[in-house]
Amino acid sequence: MAELTIGQEVPDFTLPASSGEDVTLSGFRGRKVVLYFYPKDMTEACTKEACSFRDSHPILEAKGAVVLGVSPDPVKSHGKFTEKYGLPFLLLSDEDHRVSEMYGVWQLKKMYGREYMGIVRSTFLIDEEGKLLKEWRNVRVKGHTEDVLAALG
């Protein structure tokens, strides 16, 4: 698992986005970034999380933050998810889970006695210079967006 330290520069990456373009994290320098990793499009908890960020998007923008969601789903799935729920932010496709591994969120999970590798729901708040301000790991969706808003000040 990757160790990220508060105040340290976060790993840069480029991934394909729901918009059809490739997006590079360092392209958002000068703005705060709410980078959230989630397991799967169209699932109950992931939909609640995405819709919570959607509903708070005007406040997040007013606080100078951009939201980026990352999951292993393909771009086509992200496009459907974005369209169905009117998501105003980009979803990035990490199909080979390279970026998820860099951030230490690709881990062994257990469900119904079965073990498998997958994304552990996590959020990283990155400052205007690309440094880690705060991280939330093993996120519970309820109240999470409010925690992120509070951290933005």
Supply the DSSP symbol for 113: T
Predicted confidence at residue 2, as pLDDT, reads 60
Q: How far apart are CA 89 and CA 98, in angstroms?
A: 21
Overall size of the chain counted in residues: 153
- Residue 51 designated active-site: no
Amino acid, res. 1: M
Give the three-class secondary structure for 65: strand
pLDDT by 10s per residue, the chain, length 153: 567 899 999 999 999 999 999 999 999 999 999 999 999 999 999 999 999 999 999 999 999 999 999 999 999 999 999 999 999 999 999 999 999 999 999 999 888 888 989 999 999 999 999 999 999 999 999 999 999 999 998
DSSP assignments along 137-153, one per residue = ES--STTHHHHHHHHH-
Distance CA 92, CA 10 (A): 17
Q: What is the pLDDT of residue 111?
A: 80
The angle formed by the CA atoms of residues 36, 25 and 67, to the nearest 5 degrees, is 40
As given in the structure block, the two tokens for residue 41 are: 């499009």
Of residues 46, 119, 132, 148, which has the active-site annotation?
46
| Number of other residues whose CB lies within 10 A of the CB of residue 146 | 11
Give, in order, the Cα–Cα distances in Å from 39 to each of 119, 127, 128: 5, 24, 26
Q: pTM value?
A: 0.94
pLDDT of residue 3: 75
Query: To 10 degrees, the CA torsion angle through 96, 134, 132, 82?
Result: 40
How many CB atoms are located within 10 Å of the residue 78 CB? 24
CA–CA dist 62, 109 (Å, integer): 36
